[in-house]
């Protein structure tokens, strides 16, 4: 979807030195929590449902439930990183697929210095092209599981909209960087205005 590229460009624009991907947080947690203790964390997010106990629900719900179980631990790690950054007054960008607003403590998302957004690719073909071009080593697996990845993507977008948080759509015609820059500037202006 271009989350990492956007994050690095925005960080460069704003002089933010710390950009952390949720994959890094997940990998740290995997070192601490064994596969026996947390099997869903050790699976890709799109197939974490395979580690769940059998449930009687639709395939769609299994994929989403697996994703949420996989992501909830990553979100706890992200909350700890955000808390530490706030304590040390460090600006940070955290990007990744695991950032589901429903899993965050509401007090974090409502802080004036936190800006949550979801990058969306409404066109499934463009989404598949983006995945294929970015992850060359995992390309075959990603294409094989694209329908599940797409379900997760749509779930994240829906959850973001439900909470009235920002969704930035990407397409071949629209550069999302300009939209993200405007959201960041608007957030900074609202913080400065609130302090005045």
The model's pLDDT over 50-100, given as tens digits with 9 standing for 90+, comes to 887 666 556 558 899 999 998 999 999 999 999 999 899 999 999 999 999
What three-state secondary structure class fits 115? Answer: coil
pLDDT at residue 180 tops 60: yes
Burial 111-128 (b: 16+ CB within 10 A, else e): eeeebbbbbbbeeeeebb
CA pair distance 179, 145, nearest whole angstrom? 30
**Residues in CB range of 120: below 8 A, 6 or more apart:** 1, 153, 157, 167, 168, 169, 170
What three-state secondary structure class fits 122? Answer: coil
Kind plus residue range of the DSSP H or E element containing 170:
none
- According to DSSP, the β-strands at 117-120 and 92-95 are unpaired
The model's pLDDT over 124-163, given as tens digits with 9 standing for 90+, comes to 998 888 877 766 667 778 888 899 999 999 999 999 999 9
pLDDT at 115: 92
CA pair distance 194, 196, nearest whole angstrom? 6
Q: Which domains does the chain have, with CATH numbers?
A: 3-195 (3.40.50.300)
pLDDT at 136: 63
114, 187 contact by CB (below 8 A): no
**Residues in CB range of 84: below 8 A, 6 or more apart:** 90
pLDDT at residue 15 tops 60: yes
């Amino acid at each position: 979807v271009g989350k990492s590229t956007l994050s690095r460009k925005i960080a460069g624009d704003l002089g933010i030195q710390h950009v952390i991907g949720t994959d890094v947080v997940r990998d740290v947690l995997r070192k601490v929590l064994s596969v026996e203790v947390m099997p869903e964390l050790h699976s890709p997010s799109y197939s974490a449902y395979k580690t769940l106990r059998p449930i009687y629900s639709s395939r769609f719900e299994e994929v989403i439930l697996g994703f949420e179980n996989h992501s909830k631990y990553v979100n706890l790690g992200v909350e700890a990183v955000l808390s530490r950054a706030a304590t040390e007054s460090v600006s940070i960008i955290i990007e990744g697929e695991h950032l589901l607003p429903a899993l965050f403590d509401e007090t974090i998302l409502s802080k004036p210095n936190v800006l949550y957004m979801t990058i969306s690719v409404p066109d499934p073909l463009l989404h598949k092209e983006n995945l294929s071009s970015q992850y060359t080593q995992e390309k075959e697996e990603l294409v094989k599981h694209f329908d599940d990845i797409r379900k997760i993507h749509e779930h994240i977008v829906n959850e973001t909209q439900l909470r009235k948080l920002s969704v930035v759509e990407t397409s071949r015609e629209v550069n999302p960087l300009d939209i993200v820059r405007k959201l960041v500037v608007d957030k900074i202006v609202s913080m400065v205005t609130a302090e005045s």
